[in-house]
Amino acid sequence: MEIKQSEFVISAVVPNQYPQDNRVEIAFVGRSNVGKSSLINTLVNRRKLVKVSGTPGKTRLVNFFLINNEFYFVDLPGYGYAKVSKSEKESWGKVIERYLTGREQLKKVMLLVDCRHKPTEDDIIMYKWIKHYNYDAIIVATKIDKLKKAELRKNLKVIRETFELSDDEEILTFSSLKKLGKEELLDAIEQCINN
């Protein structure tokens, strides 16, 4: 799949602000500094469609981007950033949960994890949430350019074990810097849209 067109549509706080046109949605979620904005920008071939912030935890809203005039990428708030108050963390949780509740257009949730670290408690909770709301998740291990091949293999095994993934659940790998894994991720997205 080739992405030829991408445009920002809306930053939504509450569900009645979400697009109501019934186009398919692919959501992206992960810890604040996992490289979510960079990944989306790489997929759409634009440097600044999604603002990349120097301060993790900047995305506090549900951001919708219309892709190829056919479907949406949905950028969910990053979680797990230590420097925000407990009440702020709870409000992000509510924003994410509100989006995940009964969103029929949502076909797949891409859960991004940093390949250099074992998934955190927050990552595990997020994965369980996605499953709880009956959505399919694809785990995407980001920043793979930072590890040697043997280290990456070992870390992917840890990620698989931490999430207790079955053998048929794959982990995709990605590097925004070197554009590694871009085609595989686009193929996975295309499959979701066409199913």
Q: Is 56 exposed, middle or buried (0-12, 13-18, 19+ CB in 10 A)?
A: middle
Predicted local distance difference test score (pLDDT) of residue 67: 97
Predicted local distance difference test score (pLDDT) of residue 89: 61
Whole-angstrom distance, CA of residue 188 vs CA of residue 1: 9
Instruction: Map out the domains of the chain with their CATH numbers.
Output: 6-194 (3.40.50.300)
CA distances from 33 to 26, 66, 93, 114, 137 (A): 20, 24, 17, 8, 19
Predicted local distance difference test score (pLDDT) of residue 107: 93
What b-and-e string marks burial along 84-121, b requiring 16 or more CB atoms within 10 Å of the CB?
Answer: beeeebeebbebbebbbeebebbbbbbbbbbbeeebee
Runs of H (alpha helix) within 20-108? 36-43, 86-100
Predicted local distance difference test score (pLDDT) of residue 75: 93
Whole-angstrom distance, CA of residue 113 vs CA of residue 31: 7
- Taken as a whole, the chain contains a residue count of 195
Predicted local distance difference test score (pLDDT) of residue 95: 82
Predicted local distance difference test score (pLDDT) of residue 53: 60
Q: What is the pLDDT along the chain (195 residues), one digit of tens a residue?
A: 899 999 999 999 889 999 999 999 999 999 988 999 999 999 999 888 887 665 554 557 899 999 999 999 999 988 876 555 666 666 667 888 889 887 899 999 999 999 999 999 989 999 998 998 889 899 999 999 999 999 999 999 999 999 999 888 889 999 999 999 999 999 999 998 988
The model carries a pTM of 0.91
